[in-house]
Structure 1
Amino acid sequence: MESQREFVRACATADGVIFTGRYDNGLDIAARLSSRTKVLLFGSGPNPFVIGPDAQTGKAVDDLVQSRLYNSGQDCLCPDVAFVHRDRLDEVVTTLGDRLTELPVGDRRDPATRVAPLVYDDAVAGAAEFLARHADLVRFGGTVDVETRVVTPSILVTDLHPPEFFSPVFLLCAYDDVRQVRDWATTPRELARGMYLTVYGEPRLTSSVVGTSVVNRDCTTFDVEDGNRPFGGFGVQASGVHERGEVTGRPLLVSAEFGSGRSRPLDRAGAAPAGARA
């Protein structure tokens, strides 16, 4: 294990560097490397779900639970928010609550465990603070045992821009018109964070990219993840390339980025929907 200073010194003139972590930290490292060094910035995004008026509720909720609770919510591909058409909101809340009631909570070494103690103290503290501050929005759960680091699977109905959560917290945002989803995805903050958008039963979202997020239809980000295909979206904080002092957001495939055959960036229309995390 090297310190950041040792790492920068060792890679100061490298042809390429792969960074996974906070975007600002990646930019700091890139600024201290050679101007010819290409830095791939593998970050994260909110990866929202959209559950539309035509969705099969059981399928959509099961996939939402599966992806949100991957490693108890401690993964960059976990969805931080689900946009639910208002006509389906009560049904989704009830179905999701039923699924969460059945979840086994226990030791992460037990294969049957779906919710385990969180790894990082700041994730526990952040979840506890958020749930306490928005207690009036909680529909299910809402408790945190700081001593054991267990965050109870929780449902909140909210219109907040979600923070990145590394915990089993489900934020549901009701929408009436799909333009509200597009407007959210094209705010400056979300354009920077755009990674994936998972869509169930929303016929008015037809494009392959919304804002800077690559669209997955009727399947989760974990379903389509493939180490031989580009990973991420077009948000610079989600998957960016730092080269010659500039950052470009695009889905990243390490072999293509560093291979001699690469001739041009991927365009939005030609982007593959998933790939390997570094």
Structure 2
Amino acid sequence: MDTPPTAIDTLKPAFERLRAAQRQHIATYDERRDALDRLGQAVRRYRDELVLACSADFGRRAPLETLGADVLVTLDEIGHARKHLRRWMRPTRRPVNLTFRPARGELRYQPLGVVGIVAPWNYPFQLAIIPLVNALAAGNRAMIKPSEFTPQVSALIAKMLGEVFTADQVVVMQGGAELAAAFTQLPFDHLLFTGSTAVGRHVMAAAAPNLTPVTLELGGKSPALIAPDYPIEQAADRIAFGKCFNAGQTCVAPDYVLVPRDKRDAFVDALMASFARRYPTLADNPDYTAIVNSRQATRLRDWLEEARARGTVIRQHLPAGETLPTGIEIVPPTVLIDPPDDCQVMRQEIFGPLLPVKSYDTHEEALAFILARDKPLAFYPFDRDGARVARSLDRISAGTACVNDVIIQFGQDELPIGGVGASGMGHYHGHAGFLTFSKAMPVMYQARLNGMKLFDAPYSDFARRAIAWLTR
């Protein structure tokens, strides 16, 4: 009786095909540029289909959010790589030690080989394609595992990339958790995973037996810290934007807010006003995105009810007279006022439109609150005192930071994205992504005329005197 193939058995042939092709040929500058051109054209060609696929997977997703966060940001990344690729590929000179001159040194940027990309469901297109752009720019071949929780987008990615690339350049593997686990066990030359911290630990463990280097783009509880003299309405409006974009299903969304105790209620009022201005209706509003599935929505509602049962004051934006629709998961923008620190909403990454607001008495107390927790993926200080901003940035270690705004740092081509500690490791985007997927190989060129023979055995009196002088 034949043994049914395992998940890893279905992956190995595709992986071996990619690896064999990489060993036979390294993409030239012109080939990499052409690949990026064809990819950019395909993204534009599939733009409208992507909007529909995202909305189908989420139940309802704001078209502008798909166009802005999945399409525009991806096209910007492609354009940036095309513009700078020749300079990135060029070897860079490095000085050599004085005692070894006139030799010279340089760094040559070689592709690593075959790159694995595991993409999440929250921005299912962008977070699959931008790492691919970086990998292709660096001359690699790639295998992508898109999320099974957004099957329409995953199928579209497979179709689009199948039209653009051959099976020995880029491969998309669709499947569930079993396939994902097998995927991370392949001996990639680099593996990039975007997702939760808990799953990131499993990914790193799976990669370890092959010594596969990993970039982990995780999450955590990203704080916003409002300084005592910062305008409350401005801070509330920007934080409401970041918390409501994609219904809070963003790894760098503000996860909780620290606000001066005497301004807490005014801040909450300003948040509620901002929610109401943005979304005068929720039930049938195409600008407000649904939660991706019932599992995630149930988790959010359970956490909200836990906080309510613990005595937390809850304020929720639900327009009067509206009944939320059935068949899609709408969770309204919700503020939780001073929830206990051991509630789930203060212990876990929320990944939804729930926003805890915590009071503080002194700025130092607020910094200590952040420092007592895992290092976040993002830190958002709202402060017009430049010296205090600098002190805050010196104290708080985070994957990224944005001063007086939220989430917009993610779309910057030359600001690397990456976590620290529990929020991840490594970087990508722009030049940082090119470097992540390259081996910077040091090369030293010995000059025709050099003095190395003077230091060969048998050692002369000159060599002994020279070493004694150099190490004096």
Name the TM-score, length of structure 1 as normaliser. Answer: 0.77
1:105 is the counterpart of 2:282: yes
Equivalences for residues 6-17 of structure 1 within 5 A: 6-9=182-185, 11-12=186-187, 14-17=188-191
Instruction: Spell out the pairing of 1:80-99 with structure 2 (5 A cutoff).
Output: 80-99=255-274
CA contact (8 A) 1:63 1:220 kept: yes
> Aligned-pair distance for 1:198?
0.7
| C-alpha deviation, 1:5, in angstroms | 4.2
SS in 2 for 1:72: helix
Q: Which residue of 2 is the match for residue 260 of structure 1?
A: 439
Root-mean-square deviation (CA), in Å? 2.7
Cα distance between partner residues in 1 of 2:262 and 2:441: 47
After superposition, give the CA deviation of every residue in 1:186-214 in whole Å (9 maximum; x if it has no partner): 22x423xx221111127434233443224
Gaps of 5+ in 1: 242-250, 264-278
**Deviation string, structure 1 residues 120-175 (Cα, Å, up to 9, x no partner):** 22221122112222223234118896944221221111153342112211210011
What SS does the aligned partner of 2:380 have? Answer: strand
Task: Give distance in 2, aligned partners of 1:65 and 1:98.
Answer: 10
Contact 1:212 1:233 in 2 (8 A): no
- 1:69 Cα shift? 0.7
Q: Which residues in structure 2 correspond to 1:137-176 (within 5 Å)?
A: 137-141=312-316, 147=326, 148-159=328-339, 160=341, 161-176=346-361
CA distance in 2 between partners of 1:229 and 1:126 (Å): 33
Q: Which residue of 1 aligns with 2:81?
A: none
**CA distances 1:199-244 after superposition (whole Å, capped 9, x unpaired):** 112743423344322432112222553233311342x221215xxx
Q: Which AA in structure 2 matches 1:201?
A: D
Please identify the structure whose Cα radius of gyration is greater: 2
Which amino acid in 1 is paired with 2:364?
R
Q: Which residue of 1 is the match for residue 206 of structure 2?
A: 32
Runs of 4+ in structure 1 off by over 6 angstroms are none
1:227 matched to which residue of 2?
413
> Cα gap change, 1:32/1:131 in structure 2, threshold over 3 Å: closer, same or farther?
closer
- The 1:27–1:146 alpha-carbon spacing in structure 2 relative to 1, beyond 3 Å, is farther
Partner of residue 190, structure 1: 374
CA distance in 1 between partners of 2:335 and 2:383 (Å):
21
Unaligned runs of 5+ in 2: 1-173, 443-472
What TM-score do the two structures reach when normalised by structure 2? Answer: 0.47
Kindly report which structure 2 residues correspond to 1:209-248, keeping only aligned pairs within 5 A, or say none. 209-213=394-398, 214-223=400-409, 225-234=411-420, 236-241=421-426
- Specify whether residues 68 and 262 from structure 1 end up closer, same or farther in structure 2 by C-alpha distance, changes over 3 A only: farther
Correspondent of 1:20 among 191, 194, 198:
194
Return closer, same or farther for 1:240/1:146 CA change in 2, 3 Å cut-off.
farther
Q: Which residue of 2 aligns with 1:44?
A: 219
Q: Which moved more, 1:76-85 or 1:145-154?
A: 145-154
In 1: Cα distance, 2:240 partner to 2:265 partner:
17
Q: Deviations over 1:44-68 (max 9, x none)?
A: 1222111121112222111101101
- Secondary structure at 2:214 match in 1: strand
- My pick for the range that moved more, 118-127 or 214-223, is 214-223
Take 2:367 and 2:273, find their aligned partners in 1: how far apart are those partners? 30
